[in-house]
A and B are shown apart, each in its own frame.
Chain A
Amino acid sequence: MLTSAVRGIARRSFSTSKWAAAQQMTVRDALNSALDEEMERDERVFLLGEEVAMYDGAYKVSRGLWKKYGDKRVIDTPITEIGFAGVAVGAAMAGLRPICEFMTFNFSMQAIDHVINSAAKTFYMSAGMINIPMVFRGPNGAAAGVAAQHSQCYGAWYSHCPGLKVVSPYNSEDAKGLLKAAIRDPDPVVVLENELLYGVQYPMSDEALSKDFVLPIGKAKIERTGNHVTIVAHSMAVQNALEGANELAGQGIEAEVINLRSLRPLDINTIIQSVTKTHHLITVEQGWPHCGIGAEVAARIMESEAFYHLDAPVVRLASVDCPLPYTKSLEAASLPQTPDVVNTVKKILGVAQ
């Protein structure tokens, strides 16, 4: 499914990438090169987390880095999230640039106090004295067949908190450019990767292959332009949005697909501009609907001029409001799928299904 999706997307053009001649790269390798390049660039950058060194990373994102940089800079931790996340924040307070890997973000709940209370708030509380230049990263969101405790999107959780910057890359260019930006940023940045996309190949432009390639945090990307409806998504849901847009195009409906890339700051201006043009908006995410990213987008649109340009209510596509089941058929039914995107667009456009 993923491979065919990639093929499907590749047939359509990316707005900024010279995809045709571009090299393909997996999201995993894109993240790996971001880590490698930034560690090479800045001696203060180091990686710590469970299995990041000798094991090459639980998901092989840090493959080869321990061999290259050694024990000092690629550090296996005990399975004690609050301990090593706290150590990482402390190291950042004292001038280092830690990259703290959570094997998955589900385990970051053990350490959320350090992400929120220690990392996000100290700069403000110290009246701008102690900033925390660090990255919390790891796979986020629903994986496949791992049941409720290992299948959750933390986009809404972390982007709720001022003091944090939160990015949620979709493809390889996103992953590399946003992770590099996060490592260079002097504030704490949460990088929400997607486990199911690690092994997927996406085109990398020449620009993206460069060591200087950095994407701006806080800017969304228009993946596909269109005049009839705006589809806002992040992470793996961008895939559903693009597939849906593809299918709709065959029926004469041109959807504009916005890949948020960044959840905090949220690039609401790009969405407003799009909605002003399309007059219709849906959001797609794999997180829960309640207080989710879609809810935030909808509220922000409602509070903006764009509200007056809407011809239909904003609709959120999100995970079913329940813990994710292990049962294969139920798991699929709990997440928004491409047909959900297509049907919702048709519904708000008043087109026969």
Chain B
Amino acid sequence: MIPNCIRSIGSQTSKRNYGSWSKAVSFLLNKNNYATEASFETKPFRLHKLDSGPSTQVSVTKEDALKYYKQLHTIRRIETAAGNLYKEKIIRGFCHLYSGQEACAVGMTAVLRPQDSVITAYRVHGWTYLMGVSPLGVLAELTGRQSGNARGKGGSMHMYAKNFYGGNGIVGAQVPLGVGVAFAAKYQNTGGVCLALYGDGAANQGQIFEAYNIAKLWDIPCIFVCENNGYGMGTSADRAAASTDYYTRGDYVPGIWVDGMDVLAVREATRYAIDHCTSGKGPIVLETATYRYSGHSMSDPGTSYRTREEIQEVRQTRDPITSFKERILNSNLVAADELKKLEAEVRKEVDDAVKIAKTDKEIPMSELTTDIYSAPLEKEVRNVTPFNPLPHGRLGPAINL
């Protein structure tokens, strides 16, 4: 599916509208005549209650470019694999794919510092990988096996890592939680911020506005990130929101609109937002304009409320991976061979992970009643009948003991 897509885009290069990008500036050529750094012009940011925004002139080193490309490509591969596993009925229940939105997560994590945290909703596979979990940890969680990030107990929507608080399945609920995580950073004076992510659908939830109010009132270093992919399930943004300018919806909270298909623009906007929060100015809203290629979840073909042409158009003109690839190739920052080699490595890693995720064992039955409480007060848990109660086990590290 992806190779097809890339081929079709490759054949239509001329149709692409990269007009807003200035010609790449390459400098410090190395011995192979490749640049070590290149700069580009992003689409203009839109600002709300801010005098000045991030610079639209962004640069990237070769090392970072390769890193971002690898991350973008890995997420796309993981999601493609997830989609296939779902179709094979190996992944059950929910499965919300991030394909098309990769630049948001990669751009944001590019500037996260060790003291910063992230919390997001249920479209969580890519984020989990970026926050330090291996592709196997993600894919085996999806298949519900023991190598999964949450040992297969959480599934598609519930994955966690250090400084990464999920993976939350109730639309909008992660936003006040994220303000709480940021509150803890302020309380403990860590200097950290928390990115609290939600979609354009959740942006209309009442608790988002309660969270804006509390965060601004208490100057909490929270970055509210609205990943606007255009649709809350099958309802387009303008059919659900009286105002689709999500970066302004915090009212008294300043906001920035950023092209969420441009990894470097997202990176700059996030860097700006972290500076804003850590300089004591309180929270900020970041709207990343993006697009999801798949349906809302795997049970949604994603074509009844939008046209196939619309999806094709985005794939061909705004794809976050091919556009970034084009840029770093055209600016002589990387060679096609290098990317090809990277792609092969990623492909192998994800393919290997898929194999293990398919054949890996499920956790033993004893874990049915493991980790209900971090400090269990009863030795046993009621079974289906009262006749054979199960022992309450403890396994996980319980980071807040």
Q: Is the CB–CB distance between B377 and A127 below 8 Å? A: no
A88 at the interface (CB under 8 A from B): yes
Select which of A46, A122, A163 is within 8 A of B187 by beta carbon. A46
B179 at the interface (CB under 8 A from A): yes
Q: Is the CB–CB distance between A86 and B179 below 8 Å? A: yes
What is B's interface to A at a CB cutoff of 8 Å?
Answer: 117, 119, 150-151, 153-154, 158, 160, 165-170, 173, 175-185, 187-188, 194, 206-207, 210-211, 213-214, 217-218, 370-375, 377-378, 381, 386, 394-401
Q: Is the CB–CB distance between A96 and B184 below 8 Å? A: yes
In the complex, chain A residues whose CB is within 8 Å of the CB of B377:
165, 216-218, 265
6 contacts between A and B (CB under 8 A): A80-B214, A91-B183, A91-B187, A94-B185, A129-B399, A165-B373
Q: Is the CB–CB distance between A127 and B187 below 8 Å? A: no
In the complex, chain B residues whose CB is within 8 Å of the CB of A90:
119, 165, 176-184, 194
Q: Is the CB–CB distance between B179 and A129 below 8 Å? A: no
A87 to B370, CA, bound (A): 27
In the complex, chain A residues whose CB is within 8 Å of the CB of B154:
125-127
Q: Is the CB–CB distance between B178 and A78 below 8 Å? A: no
A75 to B213, CA, bound (A): 14
Closest B-chain residue to A187, C-beta based?
Answer: B373
Q: Is the CB–CB distance between B374 and A83 below 8 Å? A: no
A25 at the interface (CB under 8 A from B): no
In the complex, chain B residues whose CB is within 8 Å of the CB of A86:
173, 175-177, 179-180, 207, 210-211
Q: Is the CB–CB distance between B396 and A93 below 8 Å? A: no
Query: Which 9 residue pairs spanning A and B have beta carbons closest together?
Result: A128-B396, A90-B180, A86-B176, A83-B210, A128-B371, A94-B184, A131-B374, A90-B177, A80-B210
Q: A82-B176, A128-B370 are in contact. Are A93 and B158 (CB under 8 A)?
A: no
A132 to B182, CA, bound (A): 16
Q: A93-B165, A117-B169, A126-B154 are in contact. Are A82 and B206 (CB under 8 A)?
A: yes
Q: A91-B180, A113-B173 are in contact. Are A80 and B213 (CB under 8 A)?
A: yes
A77 to B217, CA, bound (A): 9
A280 at the interface (CB under 8 A from B): no
Q: How far is the CB of A323 from chain B (nearest CB, A)?
A: 25
A124 to B400, CA, bound (A): 14
Return the CB mask of A78-111 against B: 1 if under 8 Å, else 0: 1010111111111111111010000000000000
Closest B-chain residue to A133, C-beta based?
Answer: B400
Closest B-chain residue to A163, C-beta based?
Answer: B372
Q: Is the CB–CB distance between A123 and B374 below 8 Å? A: yes
Q: Is the CB–CB distance between B397 and A129 below 8 Å? A: yes
Q: Is the CB–CB distance between B170 and A117 below 8 Å? A: yes
Q: Is the CB–CB distance between A131 and B399 below 8 Å? A: yes
Closest B-chain residue to A299, C-beta based?
Answer: B386
A162 at the interface (CB under 8 A from B): yes
Q: How far is the CB of A14 from chain B (nearest CB, A)?
A: 24
A244 to B398, CA, bound (A): 45
In the complex, chain B residues whose CB is within 8 Å of the CB of A82:
176, 206-207, 210
A186 at the interface (CB under 8 A from B): yes
Q: A92-B180, A94-B185, A117-B173 are in contact. Are A78 and B400 (CB under 8 A)?
A: no
A residues 198-231 touching B (CB-CB < 8 Å): 216-218
Q: How far is the CB of B93 from chain A (nearest CB, A)?
A: 13
In the complex, chain A residues whose CB is within 8 Å of the CB of B180:
86-94, 98
Select which of B158, B175, B207, B381 is within 8 A of A126 by beta carbon. B158
A122 to B372, CA, bound (A): 9
A118 at the interface (CB under 8 A from B): yes
A72 at the interface (CB under 8 A from B): yes
A265 to B382, CA, bound (A): 12
Select which of B214, B394, B395, B400 is within 8 A of A84 by beta carbon. B214
In the complex, chain A residues whose CB is within 8 Å of the CB of B213:
78, 80, 83
A129 to B395, CA, bound (A): 9
A185 at the interface (CB under 8 A from B): yes
In the complex, chain B residues whose CB is within 8 Å of the CB of A129:
150, 160, 396-399
Closest A-chain residue to B168, C-beta based?
Answer: A118
